[in-house]
Amino acid sequence: MKIFPKSLKKGDKIAIISPAGSVEPSHLEKGIEMIKAKGFEPVLGKNLYTKFSNGYNYAGTEKQRLKDINWALNDSEISAIWASRGGYGCQHLLEGLNLKEFTKNPKWYIGYSDNTVIQSYLLKKGFASIHGQTIKTSSFGVTDETYNLIFDILKGKTSKYTIKSHQFNNQGNIEGELIGGNLALIYALLGTKYSFDFKDKILFIEDIGENFYALDRMIMSLELAGVFKKIKGLIIGGMTNMGDEKENKQYEESFDEFAFKLISDRISKYDFPVVFGFPNGHIKDNRPLIIGSKVKVKVENKVKIEF
């Protein structure tokens, strides 16, 4: 039985932290003002804008980033945690995460991309989280509805989505627990104690900026790990800027058809329901999903997903 954090009320505090890549204050201005406009109080992590370069521009050292996330997880005055961005670096924090006070006062963790590893960790401990847009608005923009839907979840509302069908979909009706997130991080956690439990789950995947051979390698790793033999269904979100971008400009789109075909070919021997093109991922219309929630999926002439 997964634990869902309590709903937020006006005036509640939302911590904003940078667990991975560095971020500029100007990148978060719109998001911070939006939180205020919705009636909540943003509380900035001490190292939110810290920078540390070590082969990548991190938002501080591992110690600094870990200090901020553990503060946000365990401070009793904080009601939700919203990641400023993804990038890379969340894996560094897994061994040092502390949920001592969090377990007494669970709170929503919101993010996607590299934050997938934090959400996998929380789910292993029995806590649901929101796979949704970070505070930083991406270069391709973010719709107002994207954020409004996250606030709906924070206020206790349930989510229902209806999307058009895709030629590669595999029809069927299923119910199960939703897991997943960014494919590269799901792949990176395979074989570790932090990996998702795939048995009888509905798996969601999305990604950005991967060469097609790298995408195939990750899907093959899931295949070799027996993931597709364990899951009840598969949902594929955005596949953005995939392939060799210098040679394949035609593939610079949110729902890359060649990436979809590659995945479809690899899983063709399985008969579980499959949804292609769900609006979540590194895309403008990034509608939130609840990791750890029970979900009903109907894949017919239209696709209906209900939490």
Q: Is 11 left (phi over 0), alpha (psi -120 to 50) or beta?
A: left
Q: What is the pLDDT of residue 245?
A: 54
Structure tokens at 161: 């989505």
Strand partners, 234: 203, 274
Q: What is the pLDDT of residue 226?
A: 98
Q: How far apart are CA 154 and CA 2, in angstroms?
A: 16
CB 304 within 8 A of CB 141: no
Q: What is the pLDDT of residue 251?
A: 45
Q: Where are the alpha helices (DSSP H) in 126-270?
A: 144-154, 183-189, 212-224, 227-230, 257-266
Tens of pLDDT along the chain (307 residues)? 799 999 999 999 999 999 999 999 999 999 999 999 999 999 999 999 999 999 999 999 999 999 999 999 999 999 999 999 999 999 999 999 999 999 999 999 999 999 999 999 999 999 999 999 999 976 677 899 999 999 999 999 999 999 999 999 999 999 999 999 999 999 999 999 999 999 999 999 999 999 999 999 999 999 999 999 999 999 999 999 998 755 554 444 689 999 999 999 999 999 999 999 999 999 999 999 999 999 999 999 999 999 9
Q: How far apart are CA 63 and CA 173, in angstroms?
A: 45
Q: What is the pLDDT of residue 1?
A: 76
Q: How far apart are CA 58 and CA 82, in angstroms?
A: 17
Grouping H, G, I as helix, E, B as strand and the rest as coil, residue 234 is: strand
Q: What is the pLDDT of residue 295?
A: 98
Strand partners, 82: 16, 110
Q: What is the pLDDT of residue 264?
A: 98
Q: What is the pLDDT of residue 149?
A: 98
Q: What is the pLDDT of residue 244?
A: 73
Q: What is the pLDDT of residue 141?
A: 77
Q: What is the pLDDT of residue 126?
A: 98
Q: How far apart are CA 249 and CA 239, in angstroms?
A: 14
Q: How far apart are CA 188 and CA 271, in angstroms?
A: 26
* DSSP string over 98-163: --TTTTTS--EEEE-GGGHHHHHHHHHTTB-EEE---SSPPTT---HHHHHHHHHHHTT---EEEE
Q: How far apart are CA 271 and CA 174, in angstroms?
A: 12
> Considering the chain, what is the average pLDDT of its residues?
95
Strand partners, 207: 239
Q: What is the pLDDT of residue 8?
A: 98
Task: For the chain, list the domains and their CATH numbers.
Answer: 13-154 (3.40.50.10740), 160-306 (3.50.30.60)
pLDDT tens-digit series, residues 247-287? 554 444 689 999 999 999 999 999 999 999 999 999 999 99
